[in-house]
C-alpha cells in the first residue's frame, strides 16, 4: 500500500505545491505560503464536474445542428454547420484542413465528454480498474482540450477579413455561441475533476 | 504555526507521498505511481524565465499592434489584428464569442506576461513585490486559458482557406506570434515553482 499525503495528515497546495500539515478542524484552509485554499480533495468535485458536463452535452447538440458560419456572395448564401464545413473542405480537396477541423471540432470535444464521464463514473463507483491508464487519460485530455478552440479562431479571422459588402461576406452563425460554450464548459468540467479521486479507492482512503 | 515538510513531496495527481531526490540539471522527477511530473531541476530557473518573458513581452506587443494577415479581393483590401478578429464577432452580434476570443488570445497571455514581469523583476533585484502571493496564484490559475498557439493554428487554417478565393498576405503579427509562442513556452518550461518560493524565502517574506 502506497503512503499518501492524505493518510499522513498532510495536504498539498494546488497552486504552490507546498506540503503542510492538515489542521485539526475543517476540510479546507489557507495555504501558509501562497494563501490559496487547500482542501483534502477539490470540494464537490464529482457533482460540479457532472453538472458542467451535462450542460456541455446538452449544448453539444445545437453546437452541431446550428450553422456556425453563413457565407454570402453574389451567387447566394450558404449556411455551414461544423460537419458540413468539414465536408466542404474535404470535397474541395483541402484534406489537411478538413482533418485538422474534424479532429479539433468533432473528435476532441467528443473525446473530452467521454473521458470526463468515464473518469467521473469510475471514481464515483470507487473502481480500482487500471488507475494508471485513467491517470494517463486525464493528462491526455488536459493536454488536448484547448485545441478544440481552433474553429472558433478560424471563424473569427474569416469574419474579420471577408467583408467585401457587395462581393462576399462571412457572418458567424448561432452554432458558434453553443460551440464556444461547449469548449468552456468541458474545460471547466475537467478542471473540476480532482484526479486524486481515481486513486482514492486504490488506497482505500476514507476522509 | 503550520509545519511544512521540505523533504517530502506529494503527487498533485495521485497524492502519493514520496521522498524528494536530487536531480541532475534539466532532470525531471516523475511520480513513482502515476507518472505525473513532480518537479524539475532547471539551473537559474528564475533568470531564464525572466529572459524569455522579456522577449515574449516585446513580441506580444508586435503581435498585437500589426495585422495578422490581409486580404486582397476585387481591388479591395481588408486586414485584421487579433483584437480586430474578436471585435468583428462583437460587431456581428456575437459579443460572447468575441469575448471568448479576446480573453483567450489577448487578455490572458497579456496578464500572464505582465504578472510574471511584475513578480520576477523585483525578485531579481532583491525586493518582494506587493501582492506577490495573489500574483502567483493568478498566474497559476490563468495557465489553462491562454490559447495563443491555438489561435495561431486557427489563423494558419484561415490563411490557407482564403488562399483559394483571394490573395492573402501574412502580416508581421503572424511571425511575431510564432516567436511569442516559442518564448512563452520556453518561459513556462524554465519556471520552477520551488525555485520561485525558495527565492522569496531567501529574501525573507
What is the DSSP secondary-structure string of chain A? ---BTTTTTEEE-TTT--EEEPPSS-SEEE-TTT--EEESS-TTHHHHHHHHHHHHHHHHHHHHHS-SEEEEETTEEEEE-HHHHHHHHHHTT-HHHHHHHHIIIIIHHHHHHHHHHHHHHHHHTT--S-HHHHHHHHHHHHHHGGGGGHHHHHHHHHHHH-EETTTEEEEE-THHHHHHHHHHHHHHHHHHS-GGGGTHHHHT---
**Confidence class for position A167, pLDDT limits 50, 70, 90:** confident
B54-113 residues touching A, CB cutoff 8 A: 68-71, 73-74, 76, 78-80, 84-89, 92, 94, 96-98, 100-101, 104-105
Q: Which residue has the cell 511569442?
A: B180
- Tell me, rounded to whole angstroms, the distance of Cα B139 from its chain centroid: 9
CA-wise closest residue to A190 among A94, A113, A90: A113
**pTM listed for this prediction:** 0.94
A42-61 residues touching B, CB cutoff 8 A: none
pLDDT digits (tens, 9 = 90+) for B127-186: 999 999 999 999 999 999 999 999 999 999 999 999 988 899 999 999 999 999 999 999
* Mean pLDDT of all residues in A25-53: 91
User: Any idea which of A96-110, A153-167, B188-202 has the lowest mean pLDDT?
Assistant: A153-167
pLDDT top residue among B102 and A9? B102
**Inter-chain CB proximity B153 and A161 less than 8 Å:** no
Work out whether strand A28-30 and strand A37-39 pair parallel, antiparallel, or are unpaired. antiparallel
Q: Which residue has the cell 540539471?
A: B25
C-alpha cell at B137: 496564484
State the Cα–Cα distance between residues A144 and B144, nearest whole angstrom.
11
CA of A56: how far to CAs of A53, A83, A90, A189, in Å?
Answer: 5, 18, 27, 9
* Mean pLDDT of all residues in A28-53: 93
**Inter-chain CB proximity A162 and B71 less than 8 Å:** yes
* Mean pLDDT of all residues in A119-123: 96
- pLDDT for the residue numbered B67: 97
pLDDT top residue among A163 and B196? B196
CA-wise closest residue to B72 among A151, A167, A170: A167
B130-159 residues touching A, CB cutoff 8 A: 133-134, 136-137, 140-141, 144-145, 147, 150-151, 153-155, 157-159
Of A6, A20, A34, the CB nearest to B15: A6
**Inter-chain CB proximity B36 and A135 less than 8 Å:** yes
Q: Does A18 touch chain B (CB under 8 A)?
A: yes
**Inter-chain CB proximity A4 and B15 less than 8 Å:** yes
Distance from CA of B58 to the nearest CA of A (A): 23
Number of continuous H segments (helices) and E segments (strands) in chain B: 8, 7
**Inter-chain CB proximity A176 and B97 less than 8 Å:** yes
Q: Does A157 touch chain B (CB under 8 A)?
A: yes
CB neighbours of residue B148 within 10 Å:
23
Interface test with A, best of B14, B68, B83, B181 (most A CBs within 10 A): B14
The interface predicted TM-score (ipTM) is: 0.93
- Report residues of chain B scoring pLDDT below 50: 1-2
CA of B193: how far to CAs of A33, A76, B57, in Å?
Answer: 12, 56, 21
**Inter-chain CB proximity B197 and A18 less than 8 Å:** yes
**Inter-chain CB proximity A161 and B12 less than 8 Å:** no
3-state class (DSSP) for residue B35: coil
C-alpha cell at B65: 499592434
* Mean pLDDT of all residues in A104-111: 96
Which chain B positions have a beta carbon within 8 Å of A19's beta carbon?
4-5, 8-10
Q: Which residue has the cell 458560419?
A: A69
C-alpha cell at A162: 471577408
- Tell me, rounded to whole angstroms, the distance of Cα B194 from its chain centroid: 18
B10-49 residues touching A, CB cutoff 8 A: 10, 12-18, 33-36, 39
- pLDDT for the residue numbered A29: 86
- pLDDT for the residue numbered B128: 97
3-state class (DSSP) for residue B38: strand
State the Cα–Cα distance between residues A33 and B115, nearest whole angstrom.
18
Evaluate if residue A207 carries a pLDDT over 70: no
Closest alpha carbon within chain A to B104: A149
Amino acid at each position: 500500500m502506497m503512503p499518501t499525503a492524505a493518510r499522513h495528515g498532510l495536504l498539498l497546495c494546488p497552486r504552490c505545491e507546498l506540503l503542510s500539515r492538515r489542521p485539526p478542524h475543517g476540510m479546507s484552509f489557507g495555504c501558509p505560503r501562497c494563501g490559496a485554499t487547500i482542501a483534502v480533495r477539490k470540494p464537490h468535485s464529482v457533482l460540479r464536474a457532472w453538472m458542467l458536463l451535462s450542460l456541455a452535452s446538452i449544448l453539444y447538440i445545437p453546437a452541431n445542428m446550428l450553422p456556425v458560419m453563413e457565407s454570402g456572395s453574389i451567387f447566394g448564401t450558404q449556411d455551414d454547420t461544423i460537419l458540413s464545413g468539414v465536408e466542404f473542405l474535404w470535397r474541395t480537396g483541402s484534406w489537411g484542413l478538413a482533418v485538422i477541423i474534424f479532429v479539433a471540432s468533432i473528435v476532441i470535444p467528443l473525446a473530452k465528454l467521454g473521458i470526463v464521464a468515464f473518469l467521473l463514473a469510475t471514481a464515483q463507483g470507487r473502481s480500482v480498474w487500471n488507475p494508471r491508464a485513467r491517470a494517463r487519460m486525464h493528462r491526455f485530455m488536459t493536454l488536448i482540450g484547448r485545441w478544440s478552440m481552433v474553429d472558433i479562431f478560424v471563424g473569427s479571422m474569416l469574419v474579420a477579413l471577408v467583408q467585401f459588402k457587395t462581393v462576399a461576406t462571412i457572418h458567424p452563425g448561432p452554432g458558434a455561441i453553443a460551440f464556444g460554450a461547449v469548449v468552456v464548459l468541458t474545460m471547466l468540467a475537467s478542471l473540476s475533476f480532482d484526479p486524486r479521486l481515481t486513486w482514492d479507492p486504490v488506497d482505500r482512503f476514507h476522509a | 504555526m503550520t509545519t511544512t515538510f521540505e523533504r517530502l513531496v506529494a503527487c498533485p495527481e495521485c497524492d502519493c507521498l514520496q521522498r524528494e531526490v536530487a536531480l541532475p540539471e534539466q532532470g525531471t522527477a516523475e511520480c513513482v505511481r502515476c507518472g505525473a511530473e513532480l518537479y524539475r531541476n532547471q539551473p537559474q530557473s528564475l533568470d531564464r524565465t525572466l529572459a524569455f518573458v522579456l522577449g515574449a513581452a516585446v513580441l506580444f506587443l508586435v503581435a498585437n499592434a500589426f495585422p495578422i494577415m490581409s486580404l486582397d479581393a476585387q481591388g479591395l483590401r481588408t486586414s485584421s489584428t487579433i483584437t480586430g478578429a474578436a471585435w468583428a464577432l462583437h460587431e456581428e452580434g456575437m459579443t460572447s464569442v468575441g469575448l471568448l476570443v479576446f480573453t483567450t488570445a489577448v487578455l490572458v497571455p497579456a496578464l500572464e506576461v505582465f504578472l510574471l514581469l511584475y513578480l520576477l523583476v523585483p525578485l531579481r533585484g532583491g525586493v518582494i513585490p506587493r501582492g506577490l502571493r495573489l500574483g502567483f496564484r493568478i498566474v497559476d490559475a490563468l495557465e489553462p486559458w491562454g490559447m495563443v498557439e491555438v489561435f495561431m493554428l486557427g489563423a494558419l487554417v484561415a490563411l490557407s482557406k482564403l488562399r483559394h478565393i483571394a490573395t492573402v498576405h501574412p502580416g508581421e503579427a503572424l511571425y511575431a506570434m510564432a516567436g511569442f509562442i516559442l518564448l512563452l513556452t520556453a518561459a513556462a518550461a524554465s519556471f520552477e515553482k520551488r525555485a520561485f518560493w525558495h527565492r522569496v524565502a531567501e529574501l525573507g517574506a
